[in-house]
Amino acid sequence: MYSRSSPIRSPQATSKHVATRRKCHRFPGAYEYSLGGKWLELLTQIAPGVTRIAVIRDASLTSGTGQFAAIQSAASAFRVELRAVGVEDAGEIDRGVTAFAHSPNGGLIVPGSALATRHRDLIITLAARHKLPALYFDRAFVAAGGLMSYGPVQIDLYRQAASYVDRILKGEKPADLPVPHPTKYELVINLQTARALGLTVPPTLLARTDEVIE
């Protein structure tokens, strides 16, 4: 069970911490759905005043509704209220985030989707404009000015895909191959964005961060 006081762990296994600025958590298991509680845990640790969270998800995808349901199932442990915000187009995102930001103590979680990636700059801009701490699924959002991310190491996914294709080209049947899953996850925090939001990153969280962007 997740709680606000839980130490940071991978969604399905705990790895030994190595005190470096750049490291990768290695563990087996599914990606998106198992991360719902982890995203809540991290966001409420870096912004403990958050009691309302908007989840920007693609409702047209099964994964989009599944991601929201997974986050919702863990929300009560963190005593936060959730609201879904659509990501179909820029107008829908702008209206949804702006309306959500009218009330205080809000934050954002952005699960993975092609539409979220397409509207990355807009989402980051809205989070900054409305002073909303936000957690993203991919490091690229943090490099572009977002607060924090927790998700699979992208280069590891590419290597898995290349290995998968190589096995098929060598004659193995795709139906006989195991479904590939990410094996390396990383936590990335943008300290400049944290300061702009008036947040102080807890030392315990900072010590577990894989990459700090100054």
Q: Which two tokens stand for residue 119?
A: 């509207």
Domain boundaries, the chain: 30-152+184-213
Average pLDDT over residues 49-62: 93
Is the pLDDT at 6 greater than 80, yes or no? no
pLDDT: which is higher, 66 or 131:
131
Task: Report phi then psi at 3, rounded to 5.
Answer: -150, 165
pLDDT digits (tens, 9 = 90+) for 80-130: 999 999 999 999 999 999 999 999 999 999 999 999 999 999 999 999 999
| Cα 126 to Cα 132: distance, rounded to the nearest angstrom | 8
Is the pLDDT at 20 greater than 50, yes or no? no
Rounded to the nearest integer, the mean pLDDT of the chain is 81
CA distances from 197 to 22, 57, 143 (A): 24, 23, 16
Question: What is the DSSP annotation of 169-184?
Answer: HTT--GGGSPPP---E
CA 58 to chain centre: 15
Q: Which two tokens stand for residue 33?
A: 């759905």
| Cα 120 to Cα 122: distance, rounded to the nearest angstrom | 6
pLDDT of residue 3: 46
| Cα 107 to Cα 97: distance, rounded to the nearest angstrom | 10
Question: Which residue, among 108, 185, 186, has the nearest Cα to 147 in the 3D structure?
Answer: 108
pLDDT of residue 32: 57
- pTM reported for the whole predicted model: 0.77
pLDDT: which is higher, 84 or 66:
84
Which fold would CATH assign to domain 30-152+184-213?
Answer: Rossmann fold (3.40.50)
Average pLDDT over residues 161-181: 62
pLDDT digits (tens, 9 = 90+) for 26-54: 333 334 567 889 999 999 999 999 999 99
- Give the confidence band of 15 by pLDDT, cuts at 50, 70, 90: very low
Is the pLDDT at 200 greater than 70, yes or no? yes
